[in-house]
Amino acid sequence: MRDPLEIVIHKNGLALCHPTDCAATEFLAREEKGVALRIVDFIGRVKAHPSYLHLFISEDLLFFKVFDLPLDTADVGEAVGYQLEMVTPFADEATWHSFAVQKDEIAYHVTLYAAQSGYVDAYIQEILEGGFQLSGLYPESQRFVNKLNRKSKWGLILPGRYVKAFIFNGPIMVDRLFCSAEPSFGEAVEVCKTEMIFRLDPARIEGQQVVDVLPPKPYFDYLDACLLLTQRPHLKTYNMLPASYQRPDYLKIMIGVLLVVNALTFMLWGGVKLYKLKTFNYQVNREIEAIMPLVTEMKDLRQKEEGSLKAISQIEGIGKNFDLIKFMQQLTTAMPSNSYVDQLRLDEKTHVVSLQGYTDEVTGLTSKLQEIGVAQLKSTSSRQNKTYFNVEITLP
């Protein structure tokens, strides 16, 4: 894909610049006619994009200001608009401007660029009428911001009516300083607080090979600013071109359309899914309502079954229990008439009955109890002219 042509607006004309070769330039004086045709001819010679242009304005035509806003500022853009007439010298004239904001713990630090529209409006109108599209209108220093330095702190020295020193933090301008004479490298390092400082020397502009990385540190002299012009500019800050002049950002439009389509698709899918869930839920409820009488009847039958099983179990338990009444009848019949029982214990597991009482005939008692089961005399004792016994009977 071809890179767009870069055009720099100066007070006395236009500079047409090759996208990646800073030596390939052509200057059009302000009084020259047929600017659009000259641009078309230059594009054909340098093989640039046929209709898309990057437009820059010389730093000599720009007003730059640094100021702070309090952190409780509700709308920074609106606040800058209010400050514009007070901080720029163009109070009664149409002004094109752009700004960038850096926030810290103290305040919003605003860097503002502004320009009189009279210098640029005529050129822009002629370029647009020639069928070209503009990416934006940027300060000339933004030509030098790209992937090689947009994540570093760096400086830039540009020639002009006054030598200008720029201090950058990535793509954001920290400050712009005017110098009566070109500073030495050491002076520039002291001011910019970095050794990565680029310098553009108009007398020594030569074509550069495209570079993807900068020379390794440390630096002991200026770096050639033409190295930065071999890369496509970043162009994410300080666009002063009003939205009505800008080329539509088709990528953003496509992304927006895709997001809307995806959102609609998701909503449609969600609606279909919800409809299916509701339909399934309705069918389940219908089925539940249909089988509920059967479930209730089954629960009643289950309760009746449990009651019947419990009654059967109790009846079976009664059949297995020891018949105490029958045993007492047998015991009463078998015991001698002069024998008495004080205490009776029954072990249901072993079917052993322990009898404790007193009698006058111990021997006769034991033999009589053999009629009921296997009787065994465990112990005897005499108290108060009575013989007390302890007999165990093992029942059949």
- pLDDT over threshold 70, residue 4: yes
In this prediction, residue 20 carries a pLDDT of: 86
Share of the chain above pLDDT 70, in %: 94
- Give DSSP secondary structure letters for 252-272: HHHHHHHHHHHHHHHHHHHHH
- The answer to whether the peptide bond before residue 202 is cis (omega within 30 degrees of 0) is no
Q: Where are the alpha helices (DSSP H) in the chain?
A: 35-46, 76-87, 117-129, 185-192, 250-320, 324-334, 362-369
In this prediction, residue 388 carries a pLDDT of: 84
Two structure tokens written together for 155: 């400086």
- pLDDT over threshold 90, residue 248: no
Integer Cα distance of 59 and 240 in angstroms:
13
**Whether 173 contacts 141, CB under 8 Å:** yes
Share of the chain above pLDDT 90, in %: 37
The per-residue pLDDT for range 99-146, each reduced to its tens digit, is: 999 999 999 999 999 998 876 888 888 898 888 999 999 999 999 999
- Among 92, 93, 88, 94, CA closest to 65: 88
State how far Cα 219 lies from the chain centre: 41
The per-residue pLDDT for range 283-330, each reduced to its tens digit, is: 888 888 888 888 888 888 888 888 888 877 766 665 556 677 777 887
The per-residue pLDDT for range 22-34, each reduced to its tens digit, is: 888 999 998 888 8
The per-residue pLDDT for range 331-363, each reduced to its tens digit, is: 788 788 788 888 888 887 777 888 888 887 777
Domain ranges in the chain are: 5-247, 248-321, 324-394
- pLDDT over threshold 90, residue 375: no
In this prediction, residue 302 carries a pLDDT of: 87
Mean pLDDT of all residues in 183-203: 92
Under DSSP, the state recorded for 170 is T
In this prediction, residue 222 carries a pLDDT of: 95
Reported CATH class of domain 324-394: alpha beta
Integer Cα distance of 176 and 179 in angstroms:
10
- Write down the mean pLDDT value for the chain: 86
CA distances, 199 to each of 99, 135, 167, 226, 348 (Å): 24, 26, 12, 8, 114
The per-residue pLDDT for range 151-169, each reduced to its tens digit, is: 899 999 998 888 999 999 9
SS3 237: coil
Mean pLDDT of all residues in 35-59: 92
Two structure tokens written together for 17: 């610049």
Q: Which residue has the tokens 């009482």?
A: 357
Using CB atoms within 10 A of its CB, is residue 198 exposed (0-12), middle (13-18) or buried (19+)?
Answer: buried
